[in-house]
Amino acid sequence: MNSKTDIKIGLFGFGTVGQGVYKVLGQTKNAHAEIKRICVRNITRPRKTATPAGLLTDNAADIFDDPEINLIVELVDDADASFRIVSQALCRGIPVVSGSKAMIARHLPELIEMQHAHNTALLYDASSCGSIPVIRNLEEYYDNDLLLEVKGILNGSSNYILSRVFDHGENYTDALQHAQELGFAESDPTFDIEGYDALFKLIIITVHALGQFVPADRVFTVGISHIRDCDIRYAREKGQKIKLVAQVAKVSDRSFTMFVMPELVEKSKYIYSVDDEYNGVVIRGECYDRQFMFGKGAGGLPTASSILSDIMARRHDYRYEYKKMKYVDRPSYTTDVTIRVYIRYDETPVPTLIPFTKVYEQLITPKDKYIIGDVQLSDLIARRRLFDSHDVFIANIPVLYTDRDN
Ligand code: HSE
């Protein structure tokens, strides 16, 4: 490919990230790519970004039937619509760059099949951690079995909320509203604050880290909506912060585990200083110990920068090979692991409902009740509803690999 605009893009979706991509492509001189058509649900909706007449359409066929369009960029905020667009494109042999993590996390095995069957590519670095190049690095640089753990703050909105509440004394509801106004939060912010957005990213990361796809309903996922002042006070007294952390970790040569939940983070950890809408990813492996990637994980322009990187990668016909899925020895997923947790509760009799294997600390006062102990992850999964419907807050106290951190 070498003419000035050798990539002609059909863009689906013109929200925060779509408009970011439009701006970024307008600024860059070496992308050799232009947006030929933008398909939106509602052409007349007022938008911050002005576009030339005729660029917007509400008819997908204007993109699919245009023989000049050789790349589809899909940034639609509806997982079902997004899957329909991406599968239609792949089945027609048109490569796609997508940022739709919920859709990818749900359909990745089918999407991999489609890429093979139609000899085309789907790139989605923007789906996980905004501007941080996590996926392509895991796929290429970490193409070996030294990798032990990928762990971090993968959701910008919840991190922004926690930072505002923790460091600036703002109230939770105001902080959430600001995250929405700043364009970090999903249109349904429950995904951000209940941990599902981080979970979708973790599922995608796990495919590229360890070559295994784990469906969302098998992963213990708890968010930050039940955090109370007493939890913040507890963390502060210990010199710690509470962060929403997603992690996938090998627990033996043959198995790995994964979960998303708030974590009590010590000052010495890289992710302690990851605040506001920033994301931070720690990659741990044999031989190199820990590496740390830090950057903006949400917002139109940061995410657009990642889309631009995938668009330019297509100039060289780059595609994911899903190399680790072809490894002969792949670890399998287990929830049969012991983790340590802080659980703060109110009326719910947590100590009798959760089968702790060891209890380290317990406080029962008329105002505050909490317990710290070891528990099997599988036992937490079996009692998952306890953390949705009751005034109960759980935070992980890391034990995996902590012996290697000094
Ligand atoms: N809502 C997401 C977040 C956007 O807050 O991280 C980026 O994926």
DSSP readout, 65-106? T-TT--EEEE--S-HHHHHHHHHHHHHTT--EEE--HHHHHH
CA distances for 62 relative to 9, 70, 303, angstroms = 12, 13, 26
Task: Find out whether the beta carbon of 159 lies less than 6 Å from any atom of ligand 1.
Answer: no
Task: Find out whether the beta carbon of 223 lies less than 6 Å from any atom of ligand 1.
Answer: no
Q: What is the rounded CA–CA span in Å between residue 370 and residue 245?
A: 20
Give me ligand 1 centre to Cα 184, in Å: 5
pLDDT in tens, 30-57: 999 999 999 999 999 999 999 999 999 9
Is pLDDT at 2 greater than 60 in this prediction?
no
Pair 375, 260: CB distance under 8 Å: no
pLDDT in tens, 215-261: 999 999 999 999 999 999 999 999 999 999 999 999 999 999 999 99
DSSP string, 264-315: EE-TTSGGGG--TTEEEEEEEETTTEEEEEEEE-SSHHHHHHHHHHHHHHHH
- HSE (side-chain half, CA atoms, 13 Å) at 114: 23
Q: CB 53: neighbour CB atoms within 10 A?
A: 5
Give me ligand 1 centre to Cα 254, in Å: 32
Phi-psi region of 327 (alpha: psi -120 to 50; beta: other; left: phi over 0): beta
Phi-psi region of 183 (alpha: psi -120 to 50; beta: other; left: phi over 0): left
Give me ligand 1 centre to Cα 197, in Å: 7
Pair 7, 26: CB distance under 8 Å: no
12-21, 132-141, 181-190, 286-295: range with lowest mean pLDDT: 181-190
Task: Find out whether the beta carbon of 157 lies less than 6 Å from any atom of ligand 1.
Answer: yes
Helices 156-168 and 229-237: angle between axes, nearest 10 degrees: 70
Give me ligand 1 centre to Cα 101, in Å: 10
Q: Give 292's contacts (C-beta < 8 A, 6+ positions apart).
A: 270, 280, 281, 282, 283
Q: What is the mean pLDDT of residues 65-73?
A: 98
Q: What is the mean pLDDT of residues 296-300?
A: 92
The residue whose CA has the least distance to atom 8 of ligand 1 is 298
Q: What is the mean pLDDT of residues 60-79?
A: 97
Indicate which residues carry an active-site annotation: 201
CA-based torsion, 202, 231, 295, 39: positive or negative: positive
Higher pLDDT, 406 or 11: 11
Atom in ligand 1 nearest the alpha carbon of residue 191: 1
Residue of 184, 199, 278, 306 to mutate, ligand 1, most atoms within 8 A of C-beta:
184
Q: What is the rounded CA–CA span in Å between residue 250 and residue 52?
A: 51
Q: What is the mean pLDDT of residues 3-11?
A: 82
161-165, 192-196, 345-349: range with lowest mean pLDDT: 345-349
The residue whose CA has the least distance to atom 1 of ligand 1 is 185
pLDDT in tens, 129-181: 999 999 999 999 999 999 999 999 999 999 999 999 998 999 999 999 999 99
What band does 5 get if pLDDT is binned at 50, 70 and 90?
low
**Per-residue model confidence (pLDDT) at position 403:** 85
Task: Find out whether the beta carbon of 77 lies less than 6 Å from any atom of ligand 1.
Answer: no
